[in-house]
């Protein structure tokens, strides 16, 4: 069992992925480093680590964060694509990257394919809430979705939380603009009926203002709404943080108050920091793949590697196949 890590993916590659790999190795998880071999070797030596500690697979190209995804950009010898190829031929058990999430998704569909019965994979993003965490799916993979797509995201998210995060019978809500079953577009209304009829612990529609209350373990929506929710709440958090900083600078009294509360501010920042949550699973692919934010730190990528490892150990893909059989039997 070994995780293929895209050593060239992310804003701070290859240093941050390599450091995360070292940490993973120290915690007992085996990692293959995929990317420019020279650069990887140089960084390993810099970190004082023997180059024999990791298997390194050379890949000379990188899909940069700015590229618009198309046939041309999904380069054959890119570190990300080589990761997937290793998984496909059985040389790795999972893929982790902090690279281009669109490319990660496109290559995943192309190389690993989706699990039988699943039309489209989705991105599951674990976010903080008052009572712990909430998994948002789809967080950005599919801009418009049918009721069936949304229902499938629900099954995938439920099994992910049960199998990988040990959540018992997760409570699921459907993101909408009102509580009533009659609200919102047809796809959501029809998905409501599908969830209602299923054995999923379905709490009905959830409005945006309730998202962080923690009454739900899973919130299902299409990738457009999910992206808007994810990004705009990150923007709101950054805005409040900006207002706080601006105000603190205005007086000595405020500066003193802020000094006393510095632990608190750090605590809140940590709690609301996506990086801590370590990467989002691409749910529905026929293989474990975790995408991390480009901005990820060592802790975040390490955490994604651990979750990938844990997913494999818990037979996540097999559990999904069984779950789909159950729901579609």
CB of 122 to its own copies, least distance (A): 14
Q: Is 239 or 326 the residue whose CB approaches its own copies more closely?
A: 239
CB of 249 to its own copies, least distance (A): 10
Q: Is 1 or 259 the residue whose CB approaches its own copies more closely?
A: 259
CB of 293 to its own copies, least distance (A): 12
CB of 246 to its own copies, least distance (A): 9
Tokens 């990938």 sit on residue: 308
Q: Is 214 or 310 the residue whose CB approaches its own copies more closely?
A: 214
CB of 147 to its own copies, least distance (A): 15
Q: Identify which of 161, 226, 178, 219 has the alpha carbon closest to the alpha carbon of residue 195.
A: 219
Report the DSSP pairing between strands 218-220 and 94-97.
unpaired
Q: Is 224 or 310 the residue whose CB approaches its own copies more closely?
A: 224
Sheet strand arrangement including 94-97: 55-58, 31-35, 3-6, 94-97, 288-291, 280-283, 122-129, 132-137, 218-220, 171-175, 201-206
CB of 144 to its own copies, least distance (A): 6
Residue 102 has a CB neighbour count (10 Å cut-off) of 18
Reduced to 3 states (helix: H, G, I; strand: E, B; else coil), residue 42 is helix
CA 83 to chain CA centroid, nearest Å: 17
Going 251 to 253 to 254 to 258, the CA torsion angle's sign is positive
Q: Is 105 or 305 the residue whose CB approaches its own copies more closely?
A: 105
CB of 224 to its own copies, least distance (A): 6
CB of 261 to its own copies, least distance (A): 4
Q: Which residues lie near its own copies (CB under 8 A)?
A: 68, 128-130, 140, 143-144, 175, 177, 180, 182, 184-185, 207-213, 221, 223-225, 227-240, 242-244, 247-248, 253-254, 256-261, 263-264, 267-268, 271-272
Reduced to 3 states (helix: H, G, I; strand: E, B; else coil), residue 91 is coil
Q: Is 201 or 295 the residue whose CB approaches its own copies more closely?
A: 295
CA 97 to chain CA centroid, nearest Å: 10
Reduced to 3 states (helix: H, G, I; strand: E, B; else coil), residue 276 is helix
Q: Is 209 or 329 the residue whose CB approaches its own copies more closely?
A: 209
Q: Identify which of 302, 309, 318 has the alpha carbon closest to the alpha carbon of residue 2.
A: 309
Query: How many residues would you count in the chain?
Result: 329
Q: Is 35 or 102 the residue whose CB approaches its own copies more closely?
A: 102
**DSSP assignment letter at 115:** P
Distance CA 93, CA 317 (A): 11
Residue 155 has a CB neighbour count (10 Å cut-off) of 25
Residue 26 has a CB neighbour count (10 Å cut-off) of 11
């Amino acid at each position: 069992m070994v995780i293929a890590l895209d050593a060239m993916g992310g804003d701070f590659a290859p240093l941050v992925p390599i450091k995360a790999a070292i940490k993973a190795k120290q915690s007992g998880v085996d990692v293959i480093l995929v990317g420019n071999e020279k650069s990887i070797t140089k960084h390993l030596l810099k970190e004082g680590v023997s180059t024999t500690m990791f298997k390194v697979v050379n890949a000379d190209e990188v899909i940069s964060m700015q590229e618009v995804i198309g046939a041309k950009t999904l380069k054959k010898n890119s570190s990300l694509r080589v990761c997937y190829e290793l998984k496909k031929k059985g040389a790795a058990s999972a893929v982790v990257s902090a690279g281009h999430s669109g490319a990660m998704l496109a290559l995943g569909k192309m190389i690993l394919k989706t699990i039988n019965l699943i039309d489209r994979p989705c991105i599951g993003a674990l976010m903080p809430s008052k009572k712990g965490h909430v998994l948002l799916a789809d967080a950005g993979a599919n801009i418009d979705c049918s009721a069936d797509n949304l229902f499938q995201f629900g099954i995938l998210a439920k099994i992910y939380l049960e199998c990988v995060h040990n959540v018992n019978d997760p409570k699921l809500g459907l993101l909408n603009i009102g509580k009533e079953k009659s609200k919102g577009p047809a796809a959501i209304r029809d998905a409501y009926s599908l969830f209602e009829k299923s054995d999923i612990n379905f709490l009905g529609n959830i409005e945006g203002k309730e998202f962080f209350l923690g009454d739900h373990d899973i919130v299902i929506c299409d990738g457009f709404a999910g992206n808007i929710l994810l990004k705009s709440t990150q923007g709101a958090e950054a805005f409040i943080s900006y207002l706080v900083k601006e105000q603190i600078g205005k007086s000595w009294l405020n500066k003193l108050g802020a000094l006393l509360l510095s632990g608190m501010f750090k605590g809140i920042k940590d709690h609301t920091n996506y990086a801590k949550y370590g990467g989002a699973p691409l749910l529905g692919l026929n293989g474990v793949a975790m995408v991390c934010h480009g901005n990820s730190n060592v802790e975040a990528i390490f955490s994604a590697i651990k979750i990938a490892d844990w997913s494999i150990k818990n037979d996540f893909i097999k559990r999904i196949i069984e779950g789909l059989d159950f729901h579609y039997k």
